[in-house]
Amino acid sequence: MTAWVDENWESVVARYKVTKVLHESKSLFQNVRVVDTAHYGHMLVLDGMVQTTEKDEFIYHEMMAHVPLLTHPNPKRVLIIGGGDGGVLREVLRHPGVEKAVQVEIDKVVIDVSREFLPTINNGAFEDPRAEVIVDDGAKYRRECTKPFDVVIVDSSDPIGPAKLLFIQQFYNHVCKSMGPEGIMTRQTGSSFMQPPELPEAYALGRNAFPHVTPYFMSVPTYIGGLFCGLMCSKKADPRLVTLDGLTDRAAKLLGGPLRYYTPGLHVGALEIPGYIREHFAAAGVDIDTEGPAINREITFGWELQLDLYDCDPAAISSGPKIQQYAKQLCDVIDMKAYGEPQTPYFGENCEHTKGFSLLQFIETSSVTGHFSEGTGAAYVNVFSCKPDDAEKAAAFTKQFFGARHMVSRLVTRK
């Protein structure tokens, strides 16, 4: 007799033909099954719901890891809550700058069966020296851990059973307060068709704790309902303002060979919110802005573009006249009126790390400032304006002018 995995969601059933049952048990928290399927290979099923499969796992795991880690300017410490199959951990460890990745999974059985039956998904990630795997309640661990994390990835099941505590306001508040100054949290928020209220509810909780909250989307064949939702919550940078240029530079440095789903272009496109999902927000009474960086432009004072440029042309950053030329040309690029001549004093002669020119140029709506480190070949430029300008154009011009090989850009809304 043919065996099937039947995944039931209210009035919808998805069926997968099973060729062999590899594991079946009841842990302290849930029913755990691993089956070999005719089409998707080995499949992990918890309490009757498909969690991951060998064939399509890369879509979810790449988007859960690389979207937040490539949005953050320099992630070194990463916390994964849940994710016992090890797929997100595997993708996190592709980032060469990550020094520590802590995975906290409440159910040891999930980790054990994933090691045994899903080795192609974790692919040795549990044994990586940068990884630490802890069996504990993720919310409890986050409350008690004193060391801040740069990125927190909540790879949990839906808000039932042991995962409930990861979907309450106190969890969002504590994560925000205990992260580094540029911290980013990301989480899955369910199927856009099968669970339409879940994303607006999570968004509202995130907005109560974080300055910037941004949905993003991915299509995972075995996640019932098709288009699946993620949510990024950021303490500093608006995730919608990443640039293709910056993402491409950093994605090229990832370890472990080519990615199978994530691309910088797909990253940018995944941040676009479909009209029917905006309808879900309206039905839930949750306001969301999709037109620009500000949630409410009526109370926005201005926008601060922060540019960190690395491996710059030494001749460009060590010349006062050249930096003054940059300030004047930038005003033309962003259509801003300059007030007075740019000032470029030389500071920090006693410190190799900081010595170099600084820049101050008053403009019609505020100022352009910067510091240019001769010792490190880096430049740090801020463009603050009370009038909206083309931040992407300003960033691209600045990178080209100073010959920077790498750039991290952030646009901060000031209220």
Cβ 105 vs Cβ 132: under 8 Å: no
**Catalytic position from the list 107, 150, 155, 238:** 155
Residue type at 222 in one-letter notation: T
CA atoms within 13 Å, Cβ hemisphere of 117: 25
The alpha carbon of 142 is separated from its chain's Cα centroid by a whole number of angstroms, namely: 18
Q: What pairs with residue 408 in β-bridges? A: 308
37-46, Cβ contacts within 8 angstroms, sequence gap of 24 or more: 37/5, 40/16, 40/221, 40/222, 42/117, 42/118, 42/120, 43/5, 43/16, 43/222, 44/85, 44/110, 44/113, 44/114, 44/117, 44/118, 45/5, 45/7, 46/110, 46/157
* Interstrand relation of 77-82 and 151-155 (parallel, antiparallel or unpaired): parallel
Residue type at 154 in one-letter notation: V
How far apart CA 401 and CA 394 sit, in angstroms, is 10
How far apart CA 177 and CA 144 sit, in angstroms, is 13
How far apart CA 108 and CA 146 sit, in angstroms, is 24
Q: Using the Cα atoms of residue 177, residue 383, residue 95 and residue 186 in order, give the sign of their dihedral.
A: positive
The alpha carbon of 84 is separated from its chain's Cα centroid by a whole number of angstroms, namely: 20
Kindly give, in sequence order, each residue whose CB lies less than 8 Å from that of residue 380, ignoring residues fewer than 6 positions away.
Answer: 306, 307, 308, 309, 370, 371, 372, 373
How far apart CA 321 and CA 309 sit, in angstroms, is 19
Q: For residue 72, what are its two tokens? A: 């953050």
State the Cα torsion 119-123-127-133 to the nearest 10°: -80
Q: Which helix (H) or strand (E) holds 80?
A: strand 77-82
Known catalytic membership, residue 155:
yes
Q: Which residues are catalytic?
A: 155
